[in-house]
Every structure is written in structure tokens, then in C-alpha cells.
């Protein structure tokens, strides 16, 4: 029997996990991380705001802890993320009065930030989510931009995305560079993600892959939607990663509150639905092993989940014990 998920999937793709500092400091949690996973993402520590809270003032403490853990254990990291409208110091794109910077100033800030972090971790980071969540959510009406109206977009339009990839590539030509987004299997949005990446490819931008965040739930997306999205993306890139996988038991992201308010139970029916959605998903992923090379869970256990423990989204419970869905995903033969 395979030791951990990474062994069960060794002929298919890497199995990754997003970690916080506690996960790599506590001996029991470390045991789970090293047994199950062979790719690591820093959940927050490598984002723009934590690493450069003020212009030119870097804080590498948290990111270094995770990078050093990976170096010590011979695990390569997915870097997350270089440019995002969230968790970013506003100095990146506006002055103290709140006016947007000129394109030149913004690009200088962006280049300095991206190249500092890519250079610092190039020995341990094998790929980067260069730009995160730049595509607009549905619905987008005809004639409206397909991209999110972020401050960065307001300054430079789509070109800021191209520049981010160019700066990252210049700093580490060996790193695989990804565009990463959510609602990644929703048909209209996946078409817009494809459109963006196709325009980048046509313009000669150094992009290697698409990251599907994969924040799913037990009711959706359908496996046909996931299959269709993977097929579409694989016509334009050679690498697809699932970058932030979780399958919550509530359709609504905030729905976990229902349980925090006193009903701290999960029904057998919900457990079964979740197991089924995980099993069906991994079946589709295995089918596409030629283009999928890493599947990363967003957090180690339900206790760590950004969605809260009562969304019950991961394969390990709040005591770091494997859930029934874990066994079903692992023993697929």
C-alpha cells in the first residue's frame, strides 16, 4: 500500500500543499506534510504585502522559514504569488494621496519587487504564480473588458500582466511561469482565462502554464466542466496545475458559519458527497496526466483551512487524521 498521497500518485503528478508557519514548526504536522506531499506552496508568506510591506523594505522572515524547511527536506516549492490585487501594499500602484502612479513608476516598483523575490528563492522555487486573479468574474457584458478593473489594470491595461511575466522570466529563466485564477472550470470564465493566455502566447510572453485554483464544493463544478476546462487550457499551454484545491461541503463560501453557530456536525450524506466529488475529480485529473503535473491542496487539514473548519474541505480532519475521502482518493485502483 502506498505510504502517502505523493506515492499513490507518483506515476501521475505531484501532490502539493499550502502551508503556514505552524505547519512547518510542529512535529506532528511536519510528519503529515512530509509523508503525504512533494510540492509546497506558502499560503501567505510569499505574497506581495507580507514580503514588501513598504516600498523597498523587504521582510523575508516568514517566507524564509518555509523556504528553509523545503530546502532542508529536498522539496521544491510553487511560488505564490508575484502580482495580485489583494494582499499587496498600495504603495505598489498609488501615491500617498491615493492617486494612481504613472505607468513607469508602477512598472519600476513591480520589476523591483518581482525580481527581488524570484532571485531570493530561485534555488527552491520551481514555478511561480506570476499573476493571480486578473480575469473578471461572470457575468461580463459584451463590449466590457474581460479583465478585472484593478488599480494595476487602470494604470497599464493588460500590458501589466505581460510585464510581470517578462520581469519574472528575466530573473529566473528556468522557472515555469503560471497565470492563476478561480472559477477556473466555469465555462464563461474559463473561456476568458483561455483568451488572455492565448493573447499572451501570441505576443510572445514567457508563460508556461495555467493554474486552476480549484476552490470547489460538493455540488460543483460538474466533472464535465472540469474536463472541458482542462481540454481548453491544454490547447494553449503545456502545463496545468491545480493550485489551491479544496472541496467544501457548503455551496456558499460563507456557509460554514452555519456550523460554527452551534451545529458542529457533518452528516454522513455530506461526507459521502464530498468523497464522491473528490473521487470523480481525481479520475478526471489522472486522465489528463500528460498536461497536469501538480495538484496542490489549499492547506493541510480542516483546522488550517482558510474557509474555516466547519466547511470541512480537505482530506485531513481537524486532528490531522485522514478522512474517508482521503482513502478513496488514495486507493483508486
Q: Catalog residues that contact ligand XIL under the rule CB under 6 A.
A: 43-44, 132, 213, 244, 306
Strand blocks (E) in 206-300: 209-212, 215-217, 239-248, 292-297
> Which residue in this structure is represented by grid cell 474559463?
190
Q: How far is the CB of 163 from ligand XIL (least distance, A)?
A: 20
Listed residue (77, 200, 90, 79) closest to 134, CA to CA: 200
Please indicate whether residue 105 is annotated as part of the active site: no
Q: Are 77 and 50 in contact (CB under 8 A)?
A: no
Q: Catalytic one among 133, 186, 225, 251? A: 133
Q: How far is the CB of 158 from ligand XIL (least distance, A)?
A: 20
44 contacts 87 by C-beta, under 8 angstroms: yes
The position carrying cell 478593473 is 149
**DSSP 8-state code for residue 295:** E
Q: Is residue 314 within 8 Å of 33, Cβ to Cβ?
A: no
Q: How far apart are the first and last CA of the chain?
A: 11
**Nearest-approach distance from CB 132 to ligand XIL, in angstroms:** 5
Pick the closer one to ligand XIL by CB: 205 or 307: 307
Tally of CA atoms within 13 A in the half-sphere of 191 that contains its CB: 6
With respect to ligand XIL, which residue has the nearer C-beta, 91 or 306? 306
The answer to whether 133 is a known catalytic residue is yes
Could you say which DSSP state residue 181 is in? E
- The contacts of residue 66 (CB under 8 Å, 6+ apart) are 19, 21, 24, 40, 42, 45, 46, 77
- Looking at the Cβ atoms of 44 and 274, the one nearer to ligand XIL is 44
In the complex, minimum distance from the CB of residue 184 to ligand XIL, in angstroms, rounded to a whole number: 11
Residues in the chain: 333
Catalytic residue among 166, 244, 251, 270: 244
258: left (phi over 0), alpha (psi -120 to 50) or beta: alpha
Q: Which residues are designated catalytic?
A: 133, 244
Amino acid at each position: 500500500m502506498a505510504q502517502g498521497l505523493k506515492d499513490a500518485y507518483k506515476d501521475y503528478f505531484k501532490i502539493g500543499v499550502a502551508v503556514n508557519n505552524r505547519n512547518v514548526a510542529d512535529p506532528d504536522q511536519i510528519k503529515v506534510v512530509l509523508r503525504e506531499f512533494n510540492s509546497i506552496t506558502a499560503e501567505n508568506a510569499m505574497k506581495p504585502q507580507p514580503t514588501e510591506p513598504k516600498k523597498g523594505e523587504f521582510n523575508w522572515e516568514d517566507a524564509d522559514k518555509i523556504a528553509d524547511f523545503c530546502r532542508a527536506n529536498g522539496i521544491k516549492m510553487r511560488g505564490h504569488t508575484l502580482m495580485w490585487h489583494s494582499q499587496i501594499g498600495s504603495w505598489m500602484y498609488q501615491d500617498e494621496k491615493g492617486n494612481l502612479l504613472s505607468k513607469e513608476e508602477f512598472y519600476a516598483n513591480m520589476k523591483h519587487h518581482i525580481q527581488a523575490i524570484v532571485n531570493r528563492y530561485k534555488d527552491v522555487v520551481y514555478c511561480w504564480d506570476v499573476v493571480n486573479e486578473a480575469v473578471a468574474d461572470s457575468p461580463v457584458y459584451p463590449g466590457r473588458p474581460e479583465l478585472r478593473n484593478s488599480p494595476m489594470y487602470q494604470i497599464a491595461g493588460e500590458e501589466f500582466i505581460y510585464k510581470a511575466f517578462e520581469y519574472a522570466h528575466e530573473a529566473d529563466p528556468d522557472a515555469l511561469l503560471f497565470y492563476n485564477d478561480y472559477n477556473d472550470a466555469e465555462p464563461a470564465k474559463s473561456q476568458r482565462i483561455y483568451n488572455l493566455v492565448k493573447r499572451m502566447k501570441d505576443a510572445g510572453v514567457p508563460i508556461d502554464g495555467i493554474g486552476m485554483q480549484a476552490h470547489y464544493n460538493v455540488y460543483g463544478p460538474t466533472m464535465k466542466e472540469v474536463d472541458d476546462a482542462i481540454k481548453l487550457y491544454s490547447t494553449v499551454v503545456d502545463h496545468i496545475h491545480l493550485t489551491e484545491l479544496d472541496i467544501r461541503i457548503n455551496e456558499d463560501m460563507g456557509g460554514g458559519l452555519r456550523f460554527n453557530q452551534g451545529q458542529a456536525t457533518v452528516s454522513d450524506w455530506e461526507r459521502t458527497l464530498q468523497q464522491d466529488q473528490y473521487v470523480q475529480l481525481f479520475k478526471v485529473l489522472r486522465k489528463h496526466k500528460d498536461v497536469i503535473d501538480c495538484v496542490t491542496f489549499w492547506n493541510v487539514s480542516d483546522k488550517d483551512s482558510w474557509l474555516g473548519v466547519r466547511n470541512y474541505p480537505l482530506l485531513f480532519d481537524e486532528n490531522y487524521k485522514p478522512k474517508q475521502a482521503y482513502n478513496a482518493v488514495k486507493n483508486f485502483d
